[in-house]
C-alpha cells in the first residue's frame, strides 16, 4: 500500500470508531419538556409566599400548562417563549410583603432578580447565589432586609 493512502485510511478508521453509525445514534434529539416544572414551582412558591395587597401577582394563574404560559405573567421574562425558562423576575415596586422565599431556588436559570422597593424583611438567605448560579443582576434595595 502506498504511504499516500495510509493517512486517509487511518483517519477514516478513527472516524468510524469515534462515530459509530447505529440506529440509536441516528435518532432525533428528544424535544424539551413542554413546561419547565422547576420554574413553575418557583413562581407558585413566590406567589404563595409573598403577601400581595395590591394583587399585582393576580395574573399568575397556573391552569394553563402549555409552554410559554408563565412567560406572560407580570414581571416574568423567559429565555424563549416556548421554553418557559425564567430569565428575569422583575417585581420592583409591587408592594409585596414577607421574607425572601426559598422557592426562588427553583428559578435557577434566572439572570436578573429585582425585588426592589417592596416591603420585604428578614435575612437574605446566604445560599441565594448558590440557588441562582447564573444571577448577574440582583436588586433588593428599598426593603428592610438584613445581613
Predicted TM-score (pTM) above 0.85: no
For residue 143, give every residue at least 6 positions away whose Cβ sits within 8 Å of its Cβ, in sequence order, or none: 115, 116, 117, 118, 119, 120, 121
In tens, the pLDDT along 1-60 reads 666 666 666 555 555 565 554 444 444 444 444 457 999 999 999 999 999 999 999 999
Give the whole-angstrom CA distance, residue 66 versus residue 36: 10
Name all domains of the chain by residue range, CATH numbers in brackets. 33-146 (3.80.10.10)
**E-state strands within the chain:** 76-78, 86-90, 97-98, 112-114, 119-123, 137-139, 144-146
Lowest mean pLDDT across 63-67, 93-97, 106-110, 115-119: 63-67
What confidence category does residue 83 fall into, taking pLDDT thresholds of 50, 70 and 90?
Answer: confident
Determine the pLDDT at residue 84: 86
Q: CA 109 to CA 69: how far, in whole Å?
A: 17
Distance CA 132, CA 45 (A): 15
List beta partners, residue 90: 114
Cα separation, 70 vs 82, whole angstroms:
10
Amino acid at each position: 500500500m502506498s504511504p499516500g493512502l495510509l493517512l486517509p485510511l487511518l483517519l477514516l478508521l478513527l472516524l468510524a470508531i469515534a462515530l459509530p453509525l447505529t440506529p440509536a445514534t441516528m435518532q432525533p434529539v428528544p424535544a424539551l419538556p413542554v413546561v419547565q416544572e422547576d420554574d413553575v414551582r418557583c413562581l407558585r412558591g413566590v406567589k404563595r409566599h409573598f403577601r400581595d395587597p395590591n394583587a399585582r401577582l393576580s395574573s399568575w394563574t397556573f391552569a394553563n400548562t402549555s409552554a410559554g404560559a408563565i412567560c406572560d405573567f407580570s414581571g416574568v421574562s423567559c429565555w424563549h417563549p416556548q421554553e418557559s425558562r425564567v430569565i428575569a423576575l422583575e417585581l420592583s415596586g409591587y408592594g409585596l410583603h414577607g421574607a425572601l422565599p426559598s422557592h426562588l431556588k427553583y428559578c435557577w436559570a434566572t439572570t436578573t432578580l429585582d425585588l426592589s422597593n417592596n416591603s420585604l424583611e428578614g435575612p437574605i438567605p446566604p445560599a441565594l447565589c448558590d440557588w441562582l448560579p447564573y444571577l448577574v443582576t440582583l436588586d433588593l434595595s428599598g426593603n428592610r432586609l438584613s445581613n
